[in-house]
Each structure stands twice: as structure tokens, then as C-alpha cells.
Amino acid sequence: MARLKTVYVCQQCGVESPKWIGRCPSCKEWNSYAEQMIPGASKKSSREKLSRPVPELVSEISSANEERISTQSHEFNRVLGGGIVHGSVILIGGEPGIGKSTLALQVAMHSRAIRTLYISGEESSRQIKLRADRIGAGSDNCYILCETNLESIHAHIKNVNPGLIIIDSIQTLKSGNFESPAGSVSQIRECAAELLRYAKESSVPIMLIGHITKEGGLAGPKVLEHIVDVVLQFEGDHNYLYRVLRSSKNRYGSTSEIGLYEMQDDGLREVANPSEILVTRHQEDISGVAISAMVDGLRPFLIEIQSLVSSAAYGTPQRSSTGFDLRRLSMLLAVLEKRAGFRLASKDVFLNVAGGLKVTDPAADLAVISAILSSDTDLPVAQNTCFAGEVGLSGEIRPVSRLEQRITEAGKMGFQKIVISSFSKMEGLQKNHKIEILQAGKVEQLFRMLFNN
Ligand code: TYD
Ligand code: MG
């Protein structure tokens, strides 16, 4: 029996200390140290037994292992950079109920050619079966195991010999070597390290599902994010059906690709053409609506921005925004007030981005102010017009990145006019596109352009 040692571990960042400390010197969190038992000597000796690598010439290292397993989910492949790399460990984080288990099970069920082992510590096999039935016809090559003990999981992995392992979730795993409860920093760290070692030795990819904290970060030690190869975030608004999968770390591809899904009764449906659903064609012109040609990651799409400006019913005007940063909205309102002379200080301003998506692209500014001006004056913006431009503090409209892509997407969606910054380089731009490209340099100019006065 290995000798047990007591240490105090910060539950936020995983730093250890022999004594209890009130405030973590590393992450500066208060009251985050908890007592934990770790095995003393025996742990070290087992680590030392690992085979030692020898230096190899870069040209002689085989790259065969980097071949990817292409899953049936096109969006999932896209976010990973073309598919799952053999031996990679992928961490998927997201709020409870957002659809992480559904996404993972769907990848497993739809990949008929791969034998998958779905290990759940959160649900019973009956519950998983019910979910699998909702997702519909799928692979008969997918095994379900409800287990949380790491050693027993290892034994089952040996028996089943899967080509892909899914762990739902890493916080429920428990290694017998440690006294601390499942979900504690040392358990998460050790279980993840153990699984990582298995993935690298056997070249079997592992998908880990992780919980997130109240603040929105992945629960558990930061080291977890360091040791895995890919970190994916699954996000969306619970009141809406759209979900966005984005990667914040990817050792095998770009982190700027996003995947879009729609949660339906029979699982997650991939959204191949987001512009079609995020833009509503109205029967008649209505005020307070403007379309932004935005880019998320590398992906251009058009999205509807809605605004309502009305006289404040109470003393203090309200500013409310869904899907757009409230501070940025306040900044844009201040620019309209100070630089362009619009009296908005005594008005309530509400802003909404269609589909419950979050817009962080600064190019949405132009559509936001157009929607606000349109609602304030009660004059509709022409439905065939869309916008792509950032608004600066002095009221100038600034050029944005990936303009060509935005213009192409707008043209593809049947828009006839796009408003961009007059500081954007126009060389050959108009020639290549049928859509009429309008340029504005200042907010006042935009106002005149939109409403002809
Ligand atoms: P789930 O995958 O359990 O979320 P997580 O693992 O992130 O906690 O899915 C949660 C929600 O998705 C649940 O509230 C029900 C809904 N859902 C559907 O709308 N359609 C479906 O086909 C499935 C399987 C789930
Ligand atoms: Mg789940």
C-alpha cells in the first residue's frame, strides 16, 4: 500500500501547497485551497517506468499518424480542421443542457465505420438509449458503458478495442489511486493525464466532455486545457435552437472555424447555410431592422439586427441588448449623440440579434446604428441593403477584414446593395461583384444615404 501524503490544492488552478493558504498566489482566488490525499512514493516510481524517447530526425518521423478520421458530421470535421486526428484528445465544454452529450453521441452513432465506446458517468444506459432513439437510425458499432472508475474503464477499453472513446464527463471519473472525490482538481488532472497517455500510446482518439464553471470557463484545473490537443466550446442561448461549436485551441488546425447546429427533436441538425435562416424576408418594409454581413471565424454570414427606440417611460432611459455587447451599444449611442447630433439620451434603446447568436464582429456596428437610426426616425432601411463596417469614436466608418467574402455572401443571398467604409480599398472590388457597393465615411453620411435627407 502506497504511503498517503496530504497536500492542499487550489481548486481553481491546481497549484499545490504543503499548508493551507487563504489566497492562491498563482491565480489570486480567495479560499480555493482544499485538502487532498495523494499517494507518496509509489506514484513517482510508476512514472519512472515509462519508456524514454530518443531524439529522431524530423524528416524521418512518420506522419502517418496524422491521418484524420472523417466523421459523418461535416460541421464537426470542419471545426477540427478536417476530422479527428488519431491519438488526439478533444475536450468539449459547454453549459449544462446545451447539447454536449447529444453532439458526442451523434458523432458516435453516425460514424458507422468506427467502433466507438461511449462511457457515461452521468446517465444510465437506458437514458442514453432514449437519446440514441431520438437521434434516430445509427451505427450498431457503438458501445455504451456506464462506469466512473478509471481502472475498470481501462479493462473495458482493452476488451472492446474501440476506434474512438467518448467520456461523458471527465468530472465524474475517479481513479482508485487517489482518495479525493471525483471532480476534484487532482482527480481530473490524473484521470486526464492517464487517458492522454493511453491515447498517445494506442493512437485511439478520445473525446472528453467537460463541465463549465459559473464564470463560463472550463471547470477543473487550467492544466486540463494545456494537456489536451483540442478544446472545443459548445455554446448557444437556451431559448433558441442555434448552437455554435468553436475551438479555442487546436493543435491540428485553425481555431477560427466554427460549426453551426440547430437543436431539433431528433438531435442536432447541421446548418450549412446560416444566412438563409438568420435573415427574415418581410412582406413590407419595417423600421428598426438592418442586415449585417458579418464573419464569425472564417465563415461569412448575414444576420438580422433589430432595434427599438422609444421615449423613456421612466426617468432613466433603459438600454438593453441581446447578443451584442451592451458597452459597445452604449459607445455607439454616444457616438450618434455627440458626433451626429441624434437625441437618444432620453430614449429607451433595445437591441436584438436574430437567432440568439452572439455577435462580436466589429463589422456589425454599421448595421446596429442603421437599425437604431431607422427605428428612431421610423423610416425603414431598404430590404435589399446590407452593411459591413466598424464605427470609430469620432463617428468615422472604418474598413473591416474579409470584405471580399462578405460581399460575395451578400451577393449570393440576393442583396442588391452593401454599405461599406469609404476607407476600404476598392481596387477591382465593384468589377468582381454584381451587387452595388456603396461607401460611407461618416455616420451623418450614412444617414443621408439611407433615408435621402
Ligand atoms: P444534452 O445533450 O443532454 O446536454 P448536455 O450534455 O450539454 O447537458 O441535451 C440537452 C437538451 O437537448 C435537452 O434539454 C433536450 C434537448 N434535446 C433536443 O431538443 N432534441 C434531441 O434530439 C435531444 C437528444 C436533446
Ligand atoms: Mg450531458
Least confident of 110-124, 135-149, 293-307, 397-411: 135-149
Nearest ligand to residue 167 Cα: 2
Residue, of 8 and 37, whose pLDDT is higher: 8
pLDDT, residue 63, reads 67
Taking the centre of ligand 1 as the mean of its atom positions, its distance from the CA of residue 99, in whole angstroms, is 5
Q: Nearest C-alpha to atom 9 of ligand 1 is from which residue?
A: 99
pTM (two decimals): 0.80
pLDDT, residue 45, reads 47
Taking the centre of ligand 2 as the mean of its atom positions, its distance from the CA of residue 225, in whole angstroms, is 19
Task: Report whether pLDDT(220) > 80.
Answer: no
Residue 243: CB within 6 Å of ligand 1? Answer: no
69 neighbors 46 (Cβ within 8 angstroms): no
| 45: β partners | none
Residue 93: CB within 6 Å of ligand 1? Answer: no
Q: Which CATH number fits domain 67-272: 3.40.50.300, 3.40.50.1980, 3.40.920.10, 2.60.40.10?
A: 3.40.50.300
CA distance 438 to 449: 9
| Per-residue model confidence as pLDDT tens digits over 236-286 | 888 888 899 999 999 988 888 889 999 999 999 998 888 887 787 777 888
Taking the centre of ligand 1 as the mean of its atom positions, its distance from the CA of residue 101, in whole angstroms, is 7
Torsion of CA 220, 224, 230, 236, to 10 degrees: 10
Q: Taking the alpha carbons of 333, 337, 341, 347 in that order, is the dihedral positive or negative?
A: positive
Q: Nearest C-alpha to atom 11 of ligand 1 is from which residue?
A: 97
Q: Which SS3 state, helix, strand or coil, does residue 75 take?
A: helix
Q: Nearest C-alpha to atom 8 of ligand 1 is from which residue?
A: 97
Pairs from 252-257 (Cβ < 8 Å, separation ≥ 24): 252/66, 252/68, 252/80, 252/81, 252/85, 252/88, 253/80, 253/81, 253/82, 254/81, 254/298, 255/297, 256/297, 256/298, 257/78, 257/79, 257/81, 257/297, 257/298, 257/299
pLDDT, residue 453, reads 56
Which ligand 1 atom is the nearest neighbour of the CA of 105?
2
Query: Which of 92, 98, 102 is the pocket-test mutation for ligand 1 (most atoms within 8 Å of CB)?
Result: 102
- H/E stretch holding 275: helix 274-278
Q: Nearest C-alpha to atom 25 of ligand 1 is from which residue?
A: 267
Residue 171: CB within 6 Å of ligand 1? Answer: no
Report percent pLDDT > 90 for the chain.
49
Identical fold for domains 67-272 and 276-451, yes or no, is no
Nearest CA-CA partner of 344 in 308, 305, 397, 291: 308
List the chain domain ranges: 4-42, 67-272, 276-451
| Per-residue model confidence as pLDDT tens digits over 412-435 | 888 999 999 999 888 878 888 889
Q: Across the beta sheet with 4-10, what order do the strands follow? A: 16-17, 4-10, 33-39
DSSP letter at 430? H
Taking the centre of ligand 2 as the mean of its atom positions, its distance from the CA of residue 121, in whole angstroms, is 10
pLDDT, residue 64, reads 61
Nearest CA-CA partner of 105 in 133, 86, 70, 68: 133
117 neighbors 166 (Cβ within 8 angstroms): yes
Least confident of 102-111, 334-343, 424-433: 424-433
Nearest ligand to residue 129 Cα: 1
Taking the centre of ligand 2 as the mean of its atom positions, its distance from the CA of residue 210, in whole angstroms, is 9
Nearest ligand to residue 99 Cα: 1
Which ligand 1 atom is the nearest neighbour of the CA of 103?
2
- Considering the domain 276-451 in this protein, what is its CATH number? 3.30.230.10
DSSP letter at 346? T
Residue 210: CB within 6 Å of ligand 1? Answer: no
pLDDT, residue 36, reads 78
Residue 60: CB within 6 Å of ligand 1? Answer: no
| 118: β partners | 144, 166
Residue 239: CB within 6 Å of ligand 1? Answer: no
Nearest CA-CA partner of 166 in 126, 209, 134, 129: 209
CA angle 212, 208, 77 (to 5 degrees): 105
| Per-residue model confidence as pLDDT tens digits over 350-402 | 999 988 888 999 999 999 999 999 999 999 999 899 999 999 999 999 999 99
pLDDT, residue 299, reads 86
Residue 267: CB within 6 Å of ligand 1? Answer: yes
Nearest ligand to residue 267 Cα: 1
